[in-house]
Amino acid sequence: MSHIIHRSLRHTPALAVGARGMHVFDSDGKAYLDASGGAAVSSLGHAHPHVLAAMQRQIAQLAYAHNGFFSSAPAEALAERLAADAPGDLDAVYLVSGGSEAVETAMKLARQYAVESGQGERGVFIARRQSYHGNTLGALALGGNAWRRQPFAPLLIDVPHVAPCYEYRGRAPGQSQDDYTAALLAELEAAIVAAGPHRVLGFCAETVVGATAGAVPPTPGYFKGVRALCDKYGLLLMIDEVMCGMGRCGSLYAIEQEGVLPDLVALGKGLGAGYQPVGAVLARRHIVARLREGSGAFQHGHTYTAHPVAAAAALAVQEVLAGERLVEAAAQRGASLMARLRAAFGAHPHVGDIRGRGLLLGIELVRERDGKQPFEPELKLHAAVKECALARGLMVYPMGGTVDGRRGDHILLAPPFIASEADLSEIVSRLEDALANALAGAGY
Ligand code: PLP
**Ligand 1 pocket mutation pick from 36, 128, 132 by most atoms within 8 angstroms of CB:** 132
Distance in Å, CA 211 to ligand 1 centroid:
9
Asked if the domains 16-47+325-441 and 51-323 are classified in one and the same CATH topology, the answer is no
Q: What is the pLDDT of residue 23?
A: 98
Distance in Å, CA 295 to ligand 1 centroid:
30
Distance in Å, CA 309 to ligand 1 centroid:
21
Q: Note the CATH architecture for domain 51-323.
A: 3-Layer(aba) Sandwich (3.40)
pLDDT digit string, tens, across residues 235-244: 999 999 999 9
pLDDT digit string, tens, across residues 300-325: 999 999 999 999 999 999 999 999 99
User: What is the residue with the minimal CA distance to atom 13 of ligand 1?
Assistant: 99
User: What is the residue with the minimal CA distance to atom 1 of ligand 1?
Assistant: 133
Superfamily of domain 16-47+325-441: Aspartate Aminotransferase, domain 1 (3.90.1150.10)
Distance in Å, CA 134 to ligand 1 centroid:
5
Contact 147, 402 (CB under 8 A): yes
**Ligand 1 pocket mutation pick from 242, 253, 255 by most atoms within 8 angstroms of CB:** 242
Ligand 1 atom with the smallest distance to the CA of 244 is: 3
Residue list, ligand 1 pocket, CB within 6 Å: 39, 98-100, 103, 132-134, 206, 210-211, 240, 242-243, 268
Contact 127, 202 (CB under 8 A): no
Domain ranges of the chain: 16-47+325-441, 51-323
**Ligand 1 pocket mutation pick from 41, 125, 204, 269 by most atoms within 8 angstroms of CB:** 269
ipTM metric: 0.99
pLDDT tens digits in sequence order for the chain, 444 residues long: 899 999 889 999 999 999 999 999 999 999 999 999 999 999 999 999 999 999 999 999 999 999 999 999 999 999 999 999 999 999 999 999 999 999 999 999 999 999 999 999 999 999 999 899 999 999 999 999 888 899 999 999 999 999 999 999 999 999 999 999 999 999 999 999 999 999 999 999 999 999 888 899 999 999 999 999 999 999 999 999 999 999 999 999 999 999 999 999 999 999 999 999 999 999 999 999 999 999 999 999 999 999 999 999 999 999 999 999 999 999 999 999 999 999 999 999 999 999 999 999 999 999 999 989 999 988 999 999 999 999 999 999 988 766 556 668 999 999 999 999 999 999 999 999 999 999 999 999
**Cβ partners under 8 Å of residue 188, min gap 6:** 126, 162, 203, 226, 229
Ligand 1 atom with the smallest distance to the CA of 98 is: 15
